[in-house]
Every structure is written in structure tokens, then in C-alpha cells.
Amino acid sequence: MPEDTRHHHSPALSVAALEEWGRNVEHIMRAVAHALNNRAAALSAVIQLASDPSDDDVTSTIGILSGELQRLNDLSLIVRTMASPPPRSGVEAFAPQDAAAESLVVIRLQVEEPDDVTIESRAAPPIRLPRWMFVRALIALFGAATNRVTGTGCIRIAIEGDGDWVVARVEGVEAPTSALSPYTAELAMAMGGEALENRLGFRVPTLAALRQREAR
């Protein structure tokens, strides 16, 4: 969907929010550096394999290369997502599921078992706001939820419609977002929403709700 670049300014954030995001960026960049080292080692092994005249398994080599290229593409996405200023800074309409997939790539890089983190968002209605804010709010939710989820230690973020709102929350955590993640709470306000009460999460208006307001 087209992007409205008329609204592109980043919100003024508190010191606490900026420090929180700085910790997230530092942790993610360390994970990126580690992943790049692994990719370099894997590609070096593929080059050696391809240069072996006794190895005629071209299909296997191509498969390995394809997998490594996808991982490099994921790392490129992560760097773009974490860039400052953000690469897509305008207001746009989009499906939360698409933004959730982008944030999940960043989140799963940080965990040993990627399947331990899930974002359920298929039923969420469209929204219209700066996409980068929504993506980063989800990333910050994960950071705040780490070591606070009860039960198995798996982290599940649910995104769903609730009347005029799209609600994103971490399952199993009962604490105000503003207490655990000032960054998420302040981004939620900048997106026209708010932090949830007594839950680690936030809500933003749906695209339909915004259109109804504009039609009045």
C-alpha cells in the first residue's frame, strides 16, 4: 500500500525509553555479528566443497548456498529494520501480520530455539501508522518479556482485533507495559494508541476506526 511521507518525524522519547531501545539494539547487533561469522564460515565450507573435483553433488551444494543466501537476506532485513532513521518512516496502511513477520525475524535471531517465540496475528485487521513503530514496539515487547514469562519459558505474542483496536500482548505476563517497557508504551502513544493496563502489551486504532473518525 502507498506510504504517506508527510508524517515522518520520530516521536520525542524519554531517557528511559531511549536507554531501553539502546539495550535492544546492542543485543541485536551482537547477535547479527555472531550470525555473520557463522555465515562466513558456512560459505567458506561451501567454496571448499565446490572446489573438490571428487564431489559431484551439485544439487546439495546449491541447496546449501540457497539456505545461506536466505540467512544473509534475513540479516540484511534486520539491519534495515534497526537502522536510524528508519528506512520506511511515513504513515502507511498494512496488515499487522506482515509487520509481525518482519519483527519475528529480528526476535528469533536472539534466541537459541527460534520456535520458542511465536507471534499470532492472522486475524488482526489492517492498521494505518508508521510501520517501523509497530515493528519496533513488538521487538521491545519481546525484550521486556524475556525471563518474565511463566511456564515453559516460550514467548507468545498475540495480535488481534478488539472493536476499534488492534491489540498486541505477551501471553503469560501480567504487568503494565509502561513499567516493563517505556519504549513500547511511548511508541504506542505516538501511534495513536496506548499501553494496556496490567498486561505487557499495547493497542492501536484499526484502519476502519481511523476512516470512521475522518468521515465525521
Write out the H or E segment, with its range, that includes residue 68: helix 58-82
Q: Please report which residue ranges of 83-181 form alpha helices under DSSP H.
A: 96-108, 131-145, 177-180
Question: Does the pLDDT at position 143 exceed 80?
Answer: yes
**Cis-peptide into 205, omega within 30 deg:** no
pLDDT at 132 over 60: yes
The pLDDT value given to residue 6: 42
Residues 6 or more apart in contact with residue 112 via CB below 8 angstroms = none
Reported as a pLDDT band with limits 50, 70 and 90, residue 206 is very high
Lowest mean pLDDT among 39-43, 57-61, 132-136, 187-191: 57-61
Report the SS3 class of residue 202. Answer: strand
- The torsion defined by the Cα of 87, 108, 35 and 140, in degrees rounded to 10, comes to 50
Q: 54 or 141, which is more confident?
A: 141
Judged by average pLDDT, the poorest of 6-10, 60-64, 95-99 is 6-10
